[in-house]
Amino acid sequence: MHDLLSVLIWLPVLAGIVVLILGDRLIGLGRWIALAASLATLAVSIPLWTHFDTRTSAFQFLEHAPWIPTFHAFYALGLDGISLPLVVLTAFMTIPVIIAGWTVIENRPAQYYAAFLIMEGLMIGVFSATDALLFYFFWEAMLIPMFLIIGIWGGPRRVYATIKFFLYTFLGSIFMLVALIYMYVKAGDYAIASFQALPLTLAEQRWIFVAFLLAFAVKVPMWPVHTWLPDAHVEAPTGGSVILAAIMLKMGGYGFLRFSLPIAPDACRQLDVLIIALSLIAVIYIGLVAMVQSDMKKLIAYSSITHMGFVTLGAFVVYAILRNTGGVAGAALGMDGAMVQMVSHGLISGALFLCVGVLYDRLHSREIATYGGVVNVMPKFAALMVLFCLANTGLPGTSGFVGEFMVVLASFKASFWYAVLAATTLVLSAAYSLWLVKRVIFGAVSSPKVASLEDLNGREAVVLGALALAVLLVGVWPAPLLNVMDASVRHLVDQAVSTKLPLTAMTAVHGLPALPAGPPP
Amino acid sequence: MTPAPLTWSTVAPAIAEIALTCAICLVLMVDVFAGERRRGLTITLTLVSLAASAALLIAYGQVGGRVVLFDGLYVEDTLGFVLKLAGFLFLAVVLLYSRSYMEQRQILRGEYCVLLLTALLGIFVLVSANNLLTVYIGVELLALSVYAIIAFDRDNPIAAESAMKYFVLSAIASGALLYGMSMIYGLTGTLALDELATRLSAGALSPGVILGLVFIVVAVGFKLGVVPFHMWLPDVYQGAPTSVTLFVSTVPQIAYFSLFLRLLTHGLAGASHQWSQMFIPLAVLTLVIGNVVAIVQSNLKRMLAYSTIGNVGFIVLGFITGTPGGYSAALYYTLVYVLMVLGSFGVILLASRKGFEADELDHYKGLYSRDPMLALVMLVLMFSTAGVPPFVGFWAKLRIIQELWATDHPVLVGIAAGISVIGCFYYLRIVKLMYFDPAPVGIPQPQPAGAARFALGLNALAVIGLGVLPGPLLALCAGLIH
């Protein structure tokens, strides 16, 4: 029981290495090993969910072993309500990627499966590390397989896209590393918990906040550092886009929740308007940009940016609520919404990229103009794609509704205008998603090529069907998910509104003498 | 002072040098009688004598703590022991990698092995130097051997030119070193490093000592390849036969590290504030110029030369901190860097064939499809040198940044972090060429050389293994320098 997390991390990594060694000649066997490993990883993640104690915000399934004694860095793993859903999401989303590449990837298939399996292990490592150095180790290591995935199996401009992707994220991360090392020098070890407990002056917190912002804003991505994402998505193979949208973007959101808010609460409180402004720009401006795209993948990529805007909005709206109402009632709602939005966006965007993949595999075009009237020849596919597009607009009953509704509701408590601006997404996302559906799915069959399309095969139907079920399940019955997160989110709100400054300095900075009771930082 | 009687216990700590000197004589003699046909014998004998000397070092050379021999000229400590073992190991790897390359070009002569061994002896003398004279002997023994090795391919005009350049510039640097030493000797009245450290820390530094220090800093900077004394480095790296570049870029790094450590941080510790102030702008320039100029290179050897310059900047940053932690970070960086460079030049050697030098970047296009193993090794090494985990190069950079933060150098931290992003680009480009580009026609298949390939595989595994579990080597380096 107590080694579950290590199994989750290293099982896919080892399976990836085995597939790599088997090579392209034994790929028949390699594929099945890859599938078996990804299924086994999901199976191992189920006991995490069932044995998770939802009453406490403490980390569970702890593992603690010496790693680098010289730095007091530990191989320390653990899960709380914030990381558990993301770990399970990672384990779940790798399976469709493996299946989607089954017959499609003909060039160096062994490396393809190996890259995705190794990346799965590393991503689970990011979410379950409780030691900042271990976290960074996984965070950066993950760039290498993604760099190769886009560069080897990508589209015509893949080299440009992958180098841009790598350098952008590397630039952001290195300043996070600098901030982590700074805190290590002060705290004496790399445990995230000791960073959270570390007293820091406001100036220090501001610098740390900015360093984290660089790293996480690139990853989320937030406007104006989002420009790598459309390039990377368009050029990446279907599987790469799915993992990028479903999991990698979540790391940015996770970083804000795990590092920025608890470690630099006073700086967050002071600079929250910046994040909210950037989030709202993402929601509105990028929403408009999404509307004019002629490339399906690009459209979904921009839509990802707007939806991730809700995550940052939900996470940082807590301070505005505190200022507006004098309390933090409703703040947990915003963070819950941010978390649900991350899970939901992982499912929906992954599914949409897989849908585009289905079309691309048949006609080798991502242009919207190539298609039209697909419903006439691919009814099953059309039904599922319409469902995912509706989920993307936030239709009640789908997972997209839950997260966005919670965040909008929380924003109302903060400011009427925040809520109004955030709610425009309901119009904008409906516009671009439904217009996409109209142009691609409906209408008369536009060309002989479209007429020759074949409907989903069994493999594709299983993958998209499973995702559709998940989207509906989270949409209709989000209670188990909210239940798992509840204690940790409440604890996080307490951490976020607590202060690391002495009382007098705090009053001067925030103008708030009294704070809601919370555990000492 | 009456000299101490020469007994076994007074020479045992110097066993590595003694064994190496015997080996040099042995190899020289055997080679004369072996003749042209049995060149393989010489290289095998060299490898065996390296192994035997290393075994003798392990058996007799371990001293707990610090032992001073030969009237204070020579010091042996655990640091020296580890560095000498590393020297044996790295030189053996150099020989393994370069053997078939040199055989194909018919430059594998007995003198080559002898010169490598004398260079190693020079390195060892530097590692154990405890007197300005010993330092100078070590520097010159190493430099003279290296001049000859670079010019070894005597029918190659480029190699001869780069040897000439190196000789002239290096002679000036040696002159500067000697001049600086003489000034400091004149003002302090001692050549012994221990005594020098005491005398300098006792009183205020006179301007003459500072002037002498400037000359020493110039000489050390030249040896390391610190900007603006780096001009020789790209020419030598590119012009010398690749097997020689492999040697020049790796094993002597141990000596240059020791030169810095013994001379500046120990002997001139009293002036550490002054020399670290001198090195700060030099290190920043080195980082920037090394990494930026590397981007525009089209020759891989030259690119790696600028990459070396950039990495030397990091090593110097470790010394600038002026703390034992910083020195041990520099030591770790040096060892790790040598490990990575060994592999990188090893790949170049294996990718070259008879009559074909794989030294242009374009020769690496589509290497994956021609030789997946070599491409994978190069991928690991390039990401490692760029400082991306899970490879060992990441920890080297991390250590330096950690020590810079600990000694409160925020600006240097920012520069070091920013420059590693720029540096990342040209390492990524190699991966791009190997993995993303199609292979052009007309580039020969890399060599099959089994033993070298095996060693190269181990080299890459070491880069990964030390990256995933960096604890032991970090602890070792931290324990060596107090």
Cβ B425–A137 below 8 Å, yes or no?
no
For tokens 């599987």, what's the residue? A239
Cβ A141–B390 below 8 Å, yes or no?
yes
Q: Contact B128/B76 with Cβ under 8 angstroms?
A: yes
> Closest approach of chain A CAs to the CA of B390, in angstroms?
6
Q: For A52-99, write each residue's pLDDT tens digit.
A: 888 888 888 888 899 988 888 999 999 998 999 999 999 999 999 998
Q: Contact B55/B85 with Cβ under 8 angstroms?
A: no
Residue of A208, A280, A216, A225 lying closest to A248 (CA atoms): A216
Q: Which residues pair with A68 in a beta bridge?
A: A73
Positive or negative, the Cα torsion across B150, B153, B154, B157? negative
A105's tokens: 């990837």
pLDDT higher than 70, residue A503: no
State the Cα torsion A217-A221-A224-A229 to the nearest 10°.
Answer: 140
Positive or negative, the Cα torsion across B146, B152, B157, B159? negative
One-letter amino acid of A254? Y
CA distance A309 to A311: 5
B405's tokens: 């933060």
Out of A144, A152, A185, name the one closest to residue B406 (CB): A185
Cis peptide before A221 (omega within 30 of 0): yes
Furthest CA-CA distance within chain B: 72
ipTM score of the complex? 0.90
Q: What is the structure's pLDDT at A71?
A: 86
Band the pLDDT of A224: cuts 50, 70, 90. Answer: confident
Q: Contact B77/B66 with Cβ under 8 angstroms?
A: yes
B183's tokens: 């000034």
Cβ A181–B432 below 8 Å, yes or no?
no
- Nearest chain A residue to B412 by CA: give it: A178
- The answer for A 258-277 residues in CB contact with B (under 8 A) is none
Q: For A132-157, write each residue's pLDDT tens digit.
A: 999 999 999 999 999 999 988 888 88
pLDDT digits (tens), chain B, 482 positions: 556 677 777 788 888 888 999 999 998 888 888 776 676 788 888 899 999 999 888 888 777 778 888 888 888 888 989 999 999 999 999 998 888 888 888 777 788 889 999 999 999 999 999 999 999 999 999 999 999 999 888 788 888 888 999 999 999 999 999 999 999 999 888 888 888 888 888 777 888 889 999 999 999 999 998 988 888 999 999 988 899 999 999 999 999 999 999 889 888 888 888 898 999 999 999 999 999 999 999 999 999 999 999 999 999 999 999 899 999 999 999 999 999 999 999 999 988 888 788 888 888 888 888 888 899 999 999 999 998 988 999 999 999 999 999 998 999 999 999 999 998 899 999 999 999 888 888 788 888 778 888 999 999 999 999 999 998 999 888 888 87
B244's tokens: 């020689």
Q: What is the structure's pLDDT at A454?
A: 84
CA distance B110 to B123: 20
CA distance B318 to B260: 11
Across B22-107, where does the E strand assignment appear? Answer: 67-69, 74-76
Probe site for chain A from B379, B392, B427, B431 (most A CB atoms < 10 A): B431
Using an 8 Å CB-CB cutoff, list chain B residues near A237: none
One-letter amino acid of A314? G
Q: Contact B39/B109 with Cβ under 8 angstroms?
A: yes
Which element (helix H / strand E) includes B120?
helix B110-127
In the A/B pair of chains, how many CB contacts fall below 8 A?
Answer: 78
B383 touches chain A (CB under 8 A): yes
- The answer for A 56-85 residues in CB contact with B (under 8 A) is 66-71
B327's tokens: 């020195």
Q: pTM of this prediction?
A: 0.92
Band the pLDDT of A519: cuts 50, 70, 90. Answer: very low
Cβ A166–B474 below 8 Å, yes or no?
no
Helices (H), A441-478: 448-451, 458-476
State the Cα torsion A308-A311-A312-A317 to the nearest 10°.
Answer: 150
How many other CB atoms are there within 10 angstroms of residue B202's CB atom?
Answer: 9
Positive or negative, the Cα torsion across A298, A303, A306, A310? negative
Length of chain B: 482
Which element (helix H / strand E) includes B459?
helix B450-468
Cβ A181–B424 below 8 Å, yes or no?
no
Q: Which residues pair with A191 in a beta bridge?
A: A131
CA distance A407 to B213: 65
Q: How far apart, in Å, are the Cα atoms of A488 and each of A56, A480, A484?
A: 7, 14, 8
Q: What is the structure's pLDDT at B368?
A: 87
